[in-house]
């Protein structure tokens, strides 16, 4: 009897192990791509994830709370790709940190806006008012050019697309420009008279760029190409089929329609 019991237990264990082996094999056949994003997930990338899942590719979101770590993590192989930045920011950051990462392709243009809880129009801004802008060079420069578009300041043209506060040549209202971490600006809006906020950061802070901003970039402006958002990869993985497939699905006509319908012009597909 003990022999029979032993054979029965052994058979059960063998079947159990066989089942586990089949499951592990199925899981191993799936390809995983880790995508670094800033803040929470969004409906556009969720659609891409759901489409890829049917093809045996698992797109996993890795969320970051700043604009620095996603590129470092990509270079250090903690993630496979990221999607959070403009091309001008990417080029500048890559050069400053000597990173071996590449622009895989374009996604959207997300116009930067100016927001305020104290005024309804930038013309109402009083002398000596405090204005918050992002503290990184590309987004900060973009904010200064936006203030210039609004007729509030004039910057040195020789500074190109990356002016800094020191490049302000004319400031007739004696505005106090405060540089803050981009993701912290929505929480600081109560403490300033107005602020330039990146589109994605504004949305995460509960603001609608088209409805809540008091002044916003014109997508038709020629210089806006500098601010096209991109998907970045590493030089050593840019040709992996599953990574190329992520971009293909993002740039599909179906996904473009979702972008158009969901954002209604607050983010514009540029592919």
In order of start, what are the domains of the chain with their CATH numbers?
31-110+226-269 (3.40.190.10), 113-217 (3.40.190.10)
Q: What percent of the chain has pLDDT over 70?
A: 89
Q: Quick one: which of 256, 198, 234, 212 has its CA closest to 94? A: 234
pLDDT in tens, 39-62: 776 789 999 999 999 999 999 999
Q: Where is 22: in which H helix or E strand?
A: helix 2-28
Confidence of residue 265 (pLDDT cuts 50, 70, 90): confident
What is the C-alpha radius of gyration for the chain, rounded to an integer number of angstroms? 24
User: 57: which strand partners?
Assistant: 31
pTM: 0.75
Residue 194 near residue 116, CB atoms below 8 Å? yes
What pLDDT, on a 0 to 100 scale, did the predictor assign at position 262? 86
Q: Enter the DSSP assignment of 117.
A: S
pLDDT tens for residues 18-37? Answer: 444 454 545 668 999 999 99
Cβ contact 58:30 at 8 Å: yes
Give the pLDDT band of residue 123 (cuts 50, 70, 90).
very high
φ and ψ at residue 196, rounded to 5 degrees: -95, 125
In 3-state terms, what secondary structure has residue 137?
Answer: helix
Residues 208, 212, 215, 220, CA torsion sign? positive
Confidence of residue 137 (pLDDT cuts 50, 70, 90): confident
Mean pLDDT of the chain: 90
Strands (E), the chain: 31-38, 57-64, 81-86, 101-109, 113-115, 130-134, 154-155, 168-170, 176-180, 194-197, 215-216, 228-234, 268-269
Average pLDDT over residues 112-130: 97
DSSP string covering 165-201:
GGGEEE-TT--EEEEE-GGGTGGGGGGSSEEEE-HHH
């Amino acid at each position: 009897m003990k022999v029979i019991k032993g054979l029965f237990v052994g058979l059960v264990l063998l079947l159990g192990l066989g089942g586990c082996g089949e499951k592990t094999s199925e899981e191993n056949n799936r390809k995983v791509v880790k995508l670094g994003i800033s803040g929470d997930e969004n409906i556009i990338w969720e659609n891409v994830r759901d489409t890829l899942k049917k093809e045996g590719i698992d797109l996993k979101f890795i969320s970051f709370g700043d604009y620095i770590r996603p590129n470092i993590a990509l270079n250090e192989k903690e993630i496979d790709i990221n999607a959070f930045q403009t091309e001008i920011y990417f080029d500048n950051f890559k050069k400053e940190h000597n990173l071996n990462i590449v622009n895989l392709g374009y996604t959207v243009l997300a116009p930067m806006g100016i927001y305020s809880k104290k005024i309804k129009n930038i013309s109402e801004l009083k002398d000596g008012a405090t204005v918050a802008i992002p503290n990184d060079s590309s987004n900060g420069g973009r904010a200064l050019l936006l203030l210039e578009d609004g007729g509030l300041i004039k910057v040195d043209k020789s500074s190109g697309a990356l002016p800094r506060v020191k490049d302000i040549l004319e400031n007739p209202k004696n505005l106090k420009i405060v540089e803050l971490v981009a993701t912290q600006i929505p929480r600081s809006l109560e403490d300033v008279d107005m602020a330039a906020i990146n589109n994605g950061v504004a949305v995460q802070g509960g603001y609608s760029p088209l409805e809540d901003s008091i002044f916003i970039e014109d997508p038709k402006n020629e210089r806006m190409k500098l601010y096209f958002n991109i998907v970045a990869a590493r030089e050593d993985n840019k040709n992996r089929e599953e990574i190329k497939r992520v971009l293909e699905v993002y740039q599909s006509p179906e996904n473009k329609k979702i972008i158009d319908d969901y954002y209604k012009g607050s983010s514009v597909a540029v592919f």
